[in-house]
Structure 1
Amino acid sequence: MPQAVTVVVATRSRPQLLRRALASIAAQEYPADIEILVVFDGTDIDDLSDLTPTPGRVIRTMPNARRAGLAGARNTGIEAARNPLLGFCDDDDEWKPTKLAQQTPLLNDAGVVVSATGIEIHSAGGTHQRFAPEKTNLDDLLRSRITELHPSSFVLRTEDLRGRLGLVDEELPASYGEDYDLLLRAVKLGSIAAVQDALTIVHWDRTSFFSEKWQGIVDGLSYLLAKHPEFARSRLGTARIEGQIAFAYAALGDRQAARGWARRTLGHHPLQPRAYIALMVGLGLVKGETVVAALNKRGRGM
Structure 2
Amino acid sequence: MAFCDDDDQWAPDKLSRQVAALGDGDFATCAIEVEYRDRRTPRLAGCDRVTVEQLARSRMAMLHSSSFLIRRTALTDSSRLGLVAEDAPGSQNEDWDLLFRAARRAPIVHVDQPLVRVLWGRTSHYAYEYATKISSLRWMMARHPEIHGCPPGAARVYGQLACWSAASGNRADAWRWTREAVRANWKEPRAAIALAALSRTVRVDQVLSALHRRGRGI
Structure-2-length-normalised TM-score: 0.95
Residues 247 and 277, structure 1, Cα contact 8 Å, conserved in 2: yes
- Structure 2 distance, partners of 1:101, 1:291, is 38
Shift of 1:147: 1.2
**Is there any run of 5+ residues in structure 2 with no aligned partner, and where?**
none
Is 1:158–2:72 an aligned residue pair? Answer: yes
Shift of 1:144: 0.8
Is 1:96–2:11 an aligned residue pair? Answer: yes
Partner residue, 2:193: 277
- Structure 1 distance, partners of 2:123, 2:17, is 30
Letter in 2 for 1:108: G
Q: How many residues align?
A: 215
Partner residue, 1:250: 166
Partner residue, 2:124: 208
Q: Which has the larger radius of gyration?
A: 1
Partner residue, 1:239: 155
Is 1:127–2:43 an aligned residue pair? Answer: no
Is 1:107–2:17 an aligned residue pair? Answer: no
Letter in 2 for 1:189: R
- Structure 1 distance, partners of 2:186, 2:110, is 32
Letter in 2 for 1:280: A
The SS at the match of 2:118 is strand
**Is there any run of 5+ residues in structure 1 with no aligned partner, and where?**
1-85
Shift of 1:201: 0.5
- Deviations, residues 101-160 of structure 1 (Å, cap 9, x unaligned): 111122223xx3320111111112511112233111111111111111111010001111
Letter in 1 for 2:180: R
Letter in 2 for 1:152: S
- Structure 2 distance, partners of 1:134, 1:116, is 9
Is 1:291–2:207 an aligned residue pair? Answer: yes
Residues 292 and 301, structure 1, Cα contact 8 Å, conserved in 2: yes
- Deviations, residues 242-270 of structure 1 (Å, cap 9, x unaligned): 11111110110111100000000100000
The SS at the match of 1:187 is helix
Letter in 2 for 1:121: V
Alpha carbons of 1:195 and 1:226: their partners in 2 closer, same or farther (altered >3 Å)? Answer: same
- Structure 2 distance, partners of 1:171, 1:224, is 11
Shift of 1:207: 5.0
Letter in 2 for 1:252: S
- Structure 2 distance, partners of 1:279, 1:246, is 9
- Deviations, residues 220-246 of structure 1 (Å, cap 9, x unaligned): 001101111122321010111111111
- Structure 2 distance, partners of 1:95, 1:242, is 33
The SS at the match of 1:284 is coil
Structure-1-length-normalised TM-score: 0.69
Higher helix share: 2
Residues 244 and 274, structure 1, Cα contact 8 Å, conserved in 2: yes
Q: Give aligned-pair identity as a percent.
A: 39
Partner residue, 1:4: none
Is 1:182–2:98 an aligned residue pair? Answer: yes
Letter in 2 for 1:198: P
1:268 to 176, 184, 190: 184
- Structure 1 distance, partners of 2:166, 2:27, is 35
Is 1:191–2:107 an aligned residue pair? Answer: yes
- Deviations, residues 30-57 of structure 1 (Å, cap 9, x unaligned): xxxxxxxxxxxxxxxxxxxxxxxxxxxx
- Structure 1 distance, partners of 2:23, 2:157, is 34
1:145 to 47, 54, 59: 59
Higher strand share: 1
